[in-house]
Structure 1
Amino acid sequence: MESEREHFNLSGPLHLTFVDWSNAHHRRSVAASLVQGVYILERDRQLKREHPIALAPPWWEFFHFKLLRQLVDDADHCTFGAIYEYRPPTPHGHQSLDASPRYVIAFRGTLTKAESFARDVELDLHIIRNGLHETSRFEIAIQAVRNMVASVGDSNVWLAGHSLGAAMAMLAGKTMAKNGTFVPAFLFNSPFLSAPIERIKDKRVKHGIRIASSVITAGLAFASKRNYNNQQADSRSVATDPFAALSSWVPCVFVNPGDPICSEYVGYFEHRKKMDEIGIGAIEKLATQNSLGGLLMSAMGRDSEALHLIPSAVLAVNLSPAQDFKEAHGIHQWWRPDLQLQSNIYKYT
């Protein structure tokens, strides 16, 4: 059954009659629309909607993109990603093409439809276990990213994703950044696995819990690393510190405070700043690189890196009220023209 939200002409950003690539709202709206295009590609496949009744093409054609390739999962043969090529019309004076991508690799999130739901949930569980990097879907994704970057360069490629797809794009971006390749990324409602501390209304209680959590996490991390290499963790140089090596990669992370799946990014970055202000930034510097779950798995001998731990980001928080979780977590919010957005840049030093 078709949903109104699948139709670009009914729910897409029709107000963007031209794209100014130097405008952050325009870039965000286009990236989110291309991710929506992947969702609808899979729905078209499931419902056997082909040209001329397919609903997916307007989500990229409106912005002068061409679908180059669909990324297909080898387990259930669903479409989980897409590679788009930007083919602008003859440039006009009001268009800024300097900041435009040549290619965008986009990933969808979980679809609650029978044909893809089981595999998507399996991938969601891999995120919880910090094991997304071990999946065949991610291997397909990272190979596509590597091949495209090798062909056209990192500055010509964007990554974009929503929810599970944002986790996929996040992991791909981190993997590339560890090798010195920094691919621009637009991450919508990316999962942050943590207790929902951000939903606590009392700021003093919330801050106290975060300090206690940081002290415990930093202590365990210090003990773990000291046991591993018999030297203090904070004596490592940037050259051998993978977290510091990632600091030059600054993805755009879009979160909604009403979405418990991603809202902890707000506290993650704000708390780091507050810890610096009260003079205990060294503790938070160690804590921010680790998660309790990741430390536990490492102690059990499993290679584990919490996906959500990133050193730097442009964090954009949607302050517009959401009626429910579905709206707070949805992709459609990110191209609304009346979006109340608060953005901050956080750099790891």
Structure 2
Amino acid sequence: MANKNGIDVTEFAHFANPDWEDPVHRRCIAASLVNVVYLLETNENQANELCCLLQFEVKETVIDDNDNSIYGVVFQWHGTTNAGPGGPPSKVVAFRGTLLRPKNISHDLVEDMKVAIRHYDSISRVEKGLQYLRKSLHNNGYNNIWLAGHSLGAAIALGTAMNLMKEERHNLEAHLFNPPFICPTVPQLKVFEMGGNFSVLRDNQRSLELYAKFVGISDWVPNIYVNQKDPICQTYVHYFEVLMGIYRHKSHLLYESMKYLFSFDLVKKKSPWHLVPSATVIVATKHFFHNHHTIRQWWLKDLRINSIEYIPPDEVIQSIKYNLPVETV
């Protein structure tokens, strides 16, 4: 039966024995584990019940030092199926989004605002999350680890992954549900699509560093889940459509277009975490939720979705590298 928070554990019963090679099952398991992070703050008994059903255990909790709330969890697989590629992950590092409860709302909204205005480096939850991710990778190897998050938690997960890749490349399996895409706006992206030369950059070395980082993670393909009616994340769809249009037809404009895309971040001296060169974008098209931003939609097996993989062609990657000084690539 549903508890006072409206969660019915029987919704998850069909994942007691998942097909780990089925992307739908992998999506639903990842979303369910993110939901456990929420439940640990609202209903610990039900969180434990759901963990048991999914055959994961809470190995470690990631605590916010400002309000002592749980915003992340390191889950460990304890089922009978061997963990590894094509099977269950040995560990999942998952982060929740904003909780509108007296205990959580104040600091959660502060973190939301930091994401909105791109004060990425001041988001304390990212650095702490990175410590737990590094430890999990060290103990298990990146082929056995998943990264997951919803809303603010998706931004934290993405920031954690991007910071990790500053030091070392990992093709980490990531499930990012409703990640915020704050800027550029759709009208700005239409200009970006035209490939205009909007050279507002004043720090050329910084721009070259960003291009090199952008190119360097092109083989990392996170799963980005958006609802086409969700204003917080729906711009991701247009962003990748525009990016692929430039990849396919206007590669000679890519360098200048990327300069424009990064311009706000360069002027403000911020790293654009939300911009990734590759992704599998899964779009929910079923509109029976009043809240298009909810995590609940993503653990439903019968959710109507469209899935498109956006990966830049090799010749485009080489074209970008050609425009960069050798020492920055």
Equivalent of 1:271 in 234, 242, 249: 242
Change (3 A) 1:43 1:297: same
CA distance in 2, matches of 1:125, 1:164: 10
Structure 2: state its 5+ residue gaps: 318-329
- 2:100 alignment partner, SS class: coil
Which residue is equivalent to 2:228?
257
- Normalising by structure 2, what TM-score? 0.85
Contact 1:154 1:181 in 2 (8 A): yes
CA distance in 2, matches of 1:120, 1:291: 27
Query: 1:259: Cα distance to partner?
Result: 0.3
Which residue is equivalent to 2:268?
297
Query: 1:4: Cα distance to partner?
Result: 4.5
The one-character-per-residue Cα deviations of 1:288-319 (angstroms, maximum 9, x if unpaired) are 47345313313xxxxx0122100111111111
Which residue is equivalent to 2:275?
309
Contact 1:312 1:346 in 2 (8 A): yes
Query: Which shifted more, 131-140 or 160-169?
Result: 131-140
Contact 1:162 1:188 in 2 (8 A): yes
**What RMSD in Å do the two structures reach over aligned CA positions?**
2.7
Which residue is equivalent to 1:347?
311
CA distance in 2, matches of 1:225, 1:90: 52
Which residue is equivalent to 1:210?
189
Which residue is equivalent to 1:336?
300
- 2:61 alignment partner, SS class: strand
Q: Which runs of 4+ in 1 moved over 6 A?
A: none
CA distance in 1, matches of 2:255, 2:53: 44
- 1:224 alignment partner, SS class: coil
- 2:162 alignment partner, SS class: helix
CA distance in 2, matches of 1:157, 1:96: 9
Which residue is equivalent to 2:97?
109
CA distance in 2, matches of 1:190, 1:318: 14
CA distance in 1, matches of 2:196, 2:52: 47
Q: Which amino acid in the other structure matches residue 3 of structure 1?
A: K
Which residue is equivalent to 1:200?
none
The answer as to 2:20 corresponding to 1:32 is no
Which residue is equivalent to 1:22?
21
The answer as to 2:251 corresponding to 1:281 is yes
CA distance in 2, matches of 1:196, 1:82: 33
CA distance in 2, matches of 1:245, 1:59: 38
Q: Which amino acid in the other structure matches residue 173 of structure 1?
A: A
Which residue is equivalent to 2:127?
139
Equivalent of 1:60 in 51, 56, 63: 51
CA distance in 1, matches of 2:288, 2:192: 29
Identical-pair percentage? 29
Change (3 A) 1:188 1:112: same
Which residue is equivalent to 1:248?
219
Contact 2:217 2:277 in 1 (8 A): yes
Q: Which amino acid in the other structure matches residue 146 of structure 2?
A: W
Q: Which amino acid in the other structure matches residue 58 of structure 1?
A: E
CA distance in 2, matches of 1:224, 1:104: 41
Equivalent of 1:80 in 71, 86, 92: 71
Matches within 5 A, 1:170-249: 170-178=158-166, 179-194=168-183, 197=186, 210-214=189-193, 219-220=198-199, 223-226=201-204, 228=205, 241-249=212-220
Contact 1:316 1:342 in 2 (8 A): yes
The aligned length equals 310
Query: 1:96: Cα distance to partner?
Result: 9.6
CA distance in 2, matches of 1:180, 1:65: 27
Q: Which amino acid in the other structure matches residue 224 of structure 2?
A: V
Q: Which amino acid in the other structure matches residue 24 of structure 1?
A: P
Structure 1: state its 5+ residue gaps: 198-205, 299-303
CA distance in 2, matches of 1:88, 1:134: 38
Query: 1:225: Cα distance to partner?
Result: 4.6
Query: Which shifted more, 337-346 or 248-257?
Result: 337-346
- 2:231 alignment partner, SS class: coil
CA distance in 1, matches of 2:209, 2:40: 45
Change (3 A) 1:157 1:78: same
